[in-house]
Structure 1
Amino acid sequence: MTVLKAVMAPRDGTVVDGFSEVDVYDLPTACTAEVTGIYLTWDVDQEFLVEQRDFLNSFVVRGGRVVVNGHVQRVFLDGLTRWRKLEYRGPADLALTRVTEHPVWAGTDPKLFLYNTGRRGPVPFAELERIGVAGFYGRGCYLDLPDGARVVHTIGRTRAPIDYEYPLGAGRVLVHGGNDLLQFSSADRGTADLRPQIVRWLEAR
């Protein structure tokens, strides 16, 4: 089983922490029969992916899995909808609520994703509330969901969907409407399991 991480920079397929990193423009040729999952970083070229829509649809319909990060503005995969910015005034408008348990986020507390600081090492949550900046995980939502979608997290007091999964043929698509999920896998944050759990989900394990 191989899991591809498609990025906006030249990569040679070297395996890093469970991901074989490839340039997004090499994705169609890099996606061999052994590939079970594709991880799209938040900054990939959506215009290019629109041109690859038939390829991506076919990959998922046959049983593949895709993680989509960021703000979808170009629909490059059946079932995707466009990201919408939230109006927010403070941390309460950006806090996460877990609606459904999901293996990618298993064992993590949603509040651990809310704040970022420049401080190294573990920081107690009360201190994070005092010195942290909220909103790095996400500041928007997906209001129009495809058939069969399962919401994982909602954001803010409006409880708008930010993370969701949906079926497409024999495969599945997981959408995160914010900064790259891998940025939030950290021992200091208490979320170190997030990265290997993403890999296992993409491997369909």
Structure 2
Amino acid sequence: MTVLKAVMAPRDGTPAGGFHEVDVYDLPKACAADTTGIYLTGDVDQEYLAEQRPLLDAFVTGGGRVLVNGHVQRVFLQGLTRWRKLEFRTPRDLVLTRVTDHPVWAGTDPLAFLYNTGTPGPVPFAELERIGVAGFYGRGYYLDLPAGARIVHTLGPTAAPIDYDYPLGAGRVLVHGGNDLLQFAGADRGTARLAPQIVRWLEGR
């Protein structure tokens, strides 16, 4: 079942309800009045979302927030652009550089996202360079960004934009051009704060 995660919290500032998993085909329910933000997983049905673009556009322009993960190939929200594959040969081509501070990634080291390894527990970076595999965070980029877009991270020496956000009406859209960000929230990486910071951003805080 393809799901999205909706952050449901009254817009009057009372305590938030956090993530609620919703089937993507119940999108109208996810865009209900008590939803402040929507987290779209990387495997979401983009064809269906493209059909629901008026609903998504209205949700964001009305003050909601949407976090888009993965490789956008169908423009299902105003301002989105299509993902492009990055040509890379070594981990150096995939090194993440933070261009602009963003509350979702506050307090995290971009190098913490570079390598994946099956070794349990925290692993020193020098060891990650030896045994880790780069590219899980992302291997592609976005060009032709919308007006007012802020690039958060770029990849490699080509400075290819992988993470960006932009205003849309009274709301905001955050795009991550790789595997779901929640997969990279963990104490072993030193990035456990990523998950609650995603929720706070989707709450509009």
User: TM-score when scaled to structure 1?
Assistant: 0.92
Which residue number in structure 1 is paired with residue 68 of structure 2? 68
* CA–CA distance in structure 2, aligned partners of residues 163 and 105 of structure 1: 11
Q: Does 1:8 align with 2:2?
A: yes
Which residue number in structure 2 is paired with residue 88 of structure 1? 88
**1:153 counterpart SS class:** strand
Residue 36 of structure 1 and its aligned partner are, at CA, apart by: 0.3
**2:188 counterpart SS class:** coil
**For residue 172 of structure 2, what is the amino acid of its counterpart?**
R
Query: What is the identity percentage for the equivalent residue pairs of Structure 1 and Structure 2?
Result: 77
Structure 1 gap segments, 5+ residues each:
1-6
Which residue number in structure 2 is paired with residue 3 of structure 1? none
Which residue number in structure 1 is paired with residue 41 of structure 2? 41
Which residue number in structure 2 is paired with residue 116 of structure 1? 116
Paired positions, count: 196
Residue 30 of structure 1 and its aligned partner are, at CA, apart by: 3.1
**For residue 154 of structure 2, what is the amino acid of its counterpart?**
T
Q: Does 1:140 align with 2:133?
A: no
Which residue number in structure 1 is paired with residue 10 of structure 2? none
Runs of 4+ displaced beyond 2 Å? none
**What value does the CA root-mean-square deviation take over the aligned residues?**
1.8
**Contact preservation (8 Å) 2:30, 2:38:** no
Residue 10 of structure 1 and its aligned partner are, at CA, apart by: 9.9
Which residue number in structure 1 is paired with residue 178 of structure 2? 178
Which residue number in structure 1 is paired with residue 14 of structure 2? none
Which residue number in structure 1 is paired with residue 201 of structure 2? 201
**For residue 61 of structure 1, what is the amino acid of its counterpart?**
T
Deviations 1:5-42 (A, max 9, x none): xx71599x9xxx93111111111123211100000000
Deviations 1:84-135 (A, max 9, x none): 0000001000010000000000000000000000111101111000000000
* CA–CA distance in structure 2, aligned partners of residues 30 and 143 of structure 1: 29
Change (3 A) 1:145 1:10: closer
Structure 2 gap segments, 5+ residues each:
8-16
Q: Which moved more, 1:104-113 or 1:30-39?
A: 30-39
**Contact preservation (8 Å) 2:3, 2:44:** no
**2:143 counterpart SS class:** coil
Q: Which moved more, 1:20-29 or 1:50-59?
A: 20-29
**For residue 163 of structure 1, what is the amino acid of its counterpart?**
D
User: TM-score when scaled to structure 2?
Assistant: 0.92
* CA–CA distance in structure 2, aligned partners of residues 23 and 99 of structure 1: 34
Residue 143 of structure 1 and its aligned partner are, at CA, apart by: 1.3
